Structure 1
């Protein structure tokens, strides 16, 4: 999963790894809208919310929940009360009960919104499952992965409760005026386009584009950006297929996992078995993702056997999905494909249809796509903790796994073995391959999922052993491999790892196991959210982390410098070059939301780089910067400081679509940056979403040299002009 790649990288642009279809998820969930694989699949129908939906809030009396509930009630959501542990009384004129079970008995809710911090969220979700609430919506970010796997172990054995999230904006029915989440309500318009998205900000962009086109939305499901999602793309597609309110569908994906490829498989089958299929369009973010880094969302990294942004795009396109490169285009695109299909996307009339229409451009892949990023292998991670080889060897030794030097000469037969997460199965798994050759490993790796609470069964272990081609090895060696699997699982569970993997081979006499090349990565949310594994996370060596990234971490900002563009090199292994020879016309990006930040970088590269004409300056992004959904004015000022510390930056592009983030607060932060940082580079600002008019007014009154736009394409053109980039 974390081994370096080699010559086979370029082939991944054209071919999806064969392993994507193996041992990842039950096939019935892909190819039939009615087939049931387990009890949890029976709960998909619970996603169909509307005016009838009775909603409670867990954490009801908290500040965030109170503000959200007021907005949702005013909009029309049927909130019937809430829960405060061991509390009772009234809040907002609605009953407060001491437990979810009491709320189920007295208020008969159909759904619960969980508005508590990450360290409290697992217990709140489990309480809702035990009380059999039909729909559970968890919006919190940084819930530890092992807590989520334990929760899914519970969900997989029942047929009453469905989870949306975590790390998701929630779910909203524009037709039914039912919001369970924190989506910006003024953006929504009742209509007939169903949306499912990994990214909150990209979903808001999509909704805004549809609303400006007068199309509106039916049901919008936030899949979320965590490693494991309670509801995925295929789950949502199965709802939209039979939803009479939905005439067309939009998918918003990004790098990480295999959910987009699974959606492509489902869509290909759907288009074969249905005479009049609903048109589907999609966008995928992450083409310009930094190699070996977690791109903001906890799940936005590419593991072994998982596709890249390029392969996801191709898989969806080959399934007949209309692809766009930026969600602002969806309004025009959906009009066109609805007209071609003969379906009516304008059944619901609204004065909002008279709003400004926006043009769109034909989508295409970059003319010179970058090779896919290497899997996560850097110790500079804000979402994963990586141990050095010496630290890994010491920890493994304590779990009865002695590490040897890499054999020399290299043995003829090598094997890759570990424990990691099977995202689609929503569980841990044994990950195995009968080779460690980097040119073959990505294609030959397979996952063998097992239940989190029970650990790997003997059948699972035997299947992995067979796939490793070690089932015919001498008894002593086989016994050692089985013990290795069990010890890796013990370490994985007790230390809350993301992956614990090793390479192995047999000794010359075939009866002794040689274990080497350990790769250990751990979930830092377990420490940051719950203060667990402190002794492990104290091993982190911050001396290897650039000061700008450490400063970003302290402010809750995800800041990743990107590689300087060059028409002569496509290497993804080279770190960002900042020298006298480095380009000085790059764009510093400041964006709220990981998905929107990835897509912004993709579009800037696509619109402004000039690989076909090396005489023109090649302009692209200098960094990935996600301020997060709870940015403050001070956070924005700090973001400017980080961006402008890079001498490659010639212009700063602030691209905001506000949900929880307020556009007026962003504007105040920009003004603060001019005062505190001393901004001497041109600044282009594009504000949309919550309080966008207030934000523009703040900037206008400041009388600063800021170029403000509300249209994304116009803003990009201005950025290109100021940086000297652009296509001929």
Structure 2
């Protein structure tokens, strides 16, 4: 059963598929080939009939007005309890149920525009109505609600999901938008894009448009822990799409989707005479271990690999790697110029970006459980109490040095819970589990055999432990619920196993969006020792802040982290930190203002950056989608006025691109303030490096 053995040494000369066999967790469940049959539903275009759920809401109405003007064939929508015509879009009908809309309008796709706590139910209604394509854009949908959705998707072959927490899907050729992508950036063309990050995909789109290439189909994978459509799904569609001549893949830290994409790319290039060129980027090389970097899924989990490893795997598979999305235009023009049979006109020269990041290489995480700081990490004492309530006693200091890891967590690839077990200095095994049924006898047997647990008492004790972990995981909506376990051979021990170091991480969206498990989340430790006060201060405004660099002022590298970054979008914020590192600078922080930032949010972000004594220059790097360039500019001016930035002598470098970029740049230029404004990232980053080095 366990045919793929893992070696600690990885040869760079081995094929990527062989290296992936060495690198990855051994999973006893593969892709769901039944659900894969719905990939064809991703091929939207001018023919696609679209409905919106939550149709009469403010956000859906505004989006529909824009999308209709662009050419999207929106034929109506759904609002529970309402029937008739839309109050603004008076020519379009409103139905009380998706089933009724499906019967009358025969849509090909639906966009989910409802609040996060209602989104899963709306998706389920669309699945039951057999809508071919379902697009969910909402962030903070509770994870276990989405696990329920994916359990439904695995049982059918009619509906395909994009998202959640994704910008959506858009056909520039077919003028069909289902999502909130910034339309001015798009132009019809022949490059397909699939991305975890919305803002990084917008940067890539703009770069391709400026290079005269345009886009065919752009698919937002989204940044959640589990996604309805992943890189392999999108790549499979692009392979057979005659309008797609080149492909862009944008990944980030967290999960194994990039590794799977690397395997697919290598296989595709081996079996194809004239493969389409593929360029890629992976954000998060400088991500702080143990922290969620903005997106709910942007953290390195058990036996997952660093962004740098993913970068190298994609490069070795044949993808052209870049370090910033603004480079995709030139790189793809050069790649397509070498394939004249696909595109007759292409020309600019660009180099494949293969510069190395000055970070340490991270091996597989072994016998450790990372805690995700944006999710809810239960304090150790509370975790011990929770285990005790389920009849499991822990050992403060295990006497046996070699410890196994046992955890209930999420298999992001198969989109389901799993039992993950790992021996010391060895590979891990991921065993699929159901959402409601406890681990089966077969799953238990596999885990016990792999851990080497034998004898009646150890088997009973370990089985009870696994069942308790599963109960805690399902009852309180866990992300990872795990412990370290060792077999006790001492005759006088009360238990044949020793349990220590419980690490319990729960989904904070279940509480924040769904209002569930209030008593558990009330146990949160918000002391400075547990939570950075600056990060805590930003939470109320939806700002995600992560301090970077050493905490000890005596550390030689402490003062080197002196560029404060203010970015909209988690992927772009990660990439900004990465790209500064490539240019010889160090960011003091990761700061994502959120997709719906306001001028007040921007001012609050400046205030947070000023709390860090190391910051010598502030870099505002914005690509407008939902966040408007002119609004960001006003936020910068507000910060200057109310926080006294000029009096402090704090230099500010601003780069604004995307929606309303011209107006934002004009506001900055006309302000008379000492702000260094740039269009290009490289020029802005170079100025930051210069100012930080003074």
TM-score scaled by length of structure 1: 0.88
Alpha-carbon spacing, 1:636–1:451, altered in 2? closer, same or farther (3 Å): same
559, 573, 578: which one aligns with 1:602 = 578
Aligned to 1:534: 518
451, 456, 460: which one aligns with 1:468 = 451
User: 3-state DSSP class of the match of 1:275?
Assistant: coil
Aligned to 2:63: 68
Q: Deviations over 1:650-687 (max 9, x none)?
A: 11111000110000100010000001111131111111
Aligned to 1:520: 504
Tell me which moved more, 224-233 or 506-515. Answer: 506-515
User: 3-state DSSP class of the match of 1:542?
Assistant: coil
Q: Deviations over 1:112-131 (max 9, x none)?
A: 00011111111111111111
360, 367, 371: which one aligns with 1:370 = 360
Number of aligned residue pairs: 670
Alpha-carbon spacing, 1:549–1:585, altered in 2? closer, same or farther (3 Å): closer
Alpha-carbon spacing, 1:459–1:377, altered in 2? closer, same or farther (3 Å): closer
**Is contact 1:132-1:161 (8 Å) kept?**
yes
The CA distance in 1 between the partners of 2:262 and 2:371, in whole Å, is 33
Alpha-carbon spacing, 1:17–1:257, altered in 2? closer, same or farther (3 Å): farther
Aligned to 2:4: none
395, 405, 409: which one aligns with 2:396 = 405
User: 3-state DSSP class of the match of 1:661?
Assistant: coil
Alpha-carbon spacing, 1:71–1:450, altered in 2? closer, same or farther (3 Å): same
Aligned to 2:22: 18
**Is contact 1:332-1:359 (8 Å) kept?**
yes
User: 3-state DSSP class of the match of 2:226?
Assistant: coil
500, 523, 534: which one aligns with 2:481 = 500
The CA distance in 2 between the partners of 1:378 and 1:456, in whole Å, is 23
331, 334, 339: which one aligns with 2:332 = 334
Q: Does residue 588 of structure 1 match 2:564? A: yes
61, 85, 90: which one aligns with 1:90 = 85
Tell me which moved more, 460-469 or 338-347. Answer: 338-347
Aligned to 2:192: 194
The CA distance in 1 between the partners of 2:251 and 2:370, in whole Å, is 24
The CA distance in 1 between the partners of 2:553 and 2:562, in whole Å, is 12
Tell me which moved more, 274-283 or 577-586. Answer: 577-586
Aligned to 2:285: 287
**Is contact 1:205-1:327 (8 Å) kept?**
yes
Aligned to 2:238: 240
Aligned to 1:5: none
Q: Does residue 427 of structure 1 match 2:413? A: no
The CA distance in 1 between the partners of 2:553 and 2:112, in whole Å, is 44
Q: CA deviation at 1:278?
A: 1.0
Aligned to 1:457: 440
**Is contact 1:288-1:601 (8 Å) kept?**
yes
The CA distance in 1 between the partners of 2:309 and 2:77, in whole Å, is 44
The CA distance in 2 between the partners of 1:445 and 1:478, in whole Å, is 19
Tell me which moved more, 451-460 or 629-638. Answer: 451-460
Q: Deviations over 1:265-302 (max 9, x none)?
A: 11111111111111111001011111221100111111
The CA distance in 2 between the partners of 1:661 and 1:576, in whole Å, is 35
Q: CA deviation at 1:373?
A: 9.6
Q: CA deviation at 1:216?
A: 0.5
172, 175, 178: which one aligns with 1:177 = 175
TM-score scaled by length of structure 2: 0.92
Q: Does residue 52 of structure 1 match 2:47? A: yes
Structure 1 runs not aligned, ≥5 long: 1-7, 30-36, 348-352, 564-573, 610-618
Q: Deviations over 1:154-185 (max 9, x none)?
A: 11111111100000000000000000000000
Instruction: Report the RMSD for the aligned CA atoms in angstroms.
Output: 2.4
Q: CA deviation at 1:576?
A: 6.2
Report matched runs for 1:644-723 at 5 Å. 644-679=610-645, 680-723=649-692
Q: CA deviation at 1:360?
A: 5.4
Q: Deviations over 1:290-329 (max 9, x none)?
A: 1221100111111121111111011101111111111101
Higher RCO (CA < 8 A, seq sep 6+): 1
**Is contact 1:430-1:447 (8 Å) kept?**
yes
Aligned to 1:623: 589
Q: CA deviation at 1:108?
A: 0.4
Aligned to 1:614: none
313, 316, 320: which one aligns with 2:314 = 316
Aligned to 1:571: none
Q: CA deviation at 1:359?
A: 7.9
Q: Does residue 390 of structure 1 match 2:391? A: no
**Is contact 1:414-1:503 (8 Å) kept?**
yes
Q: CA deviation at 1:703?
A: 1.6
The CA distance in 2 between the partners of 1:637 and 1:111, in whole Å, is 39
Q: Deviations over 1:670-714 (max 9, x none)?
A: 000001111131111111111111111222222211111111111
Aligned to 2:143: 145
User: 3-state DSSP class of the match of 1:341?
Assistant: coil
Q: Deviations over 1:412-463 (max 9, x none)?
A: x53211100000010000010123xxxx2xx512211123243432222222
The CA distance in 2 between the partners of 1:154 and 1:346, in whole Å, is 45
**Is contact 1:406-1:517 (8 Å) kept?**
no
The CA distance in 1 between the partners of 2:296 and 2:9, in whole Å, is 24
Tell me which moved more, 388-397 or 480-489. Answer: 480-489
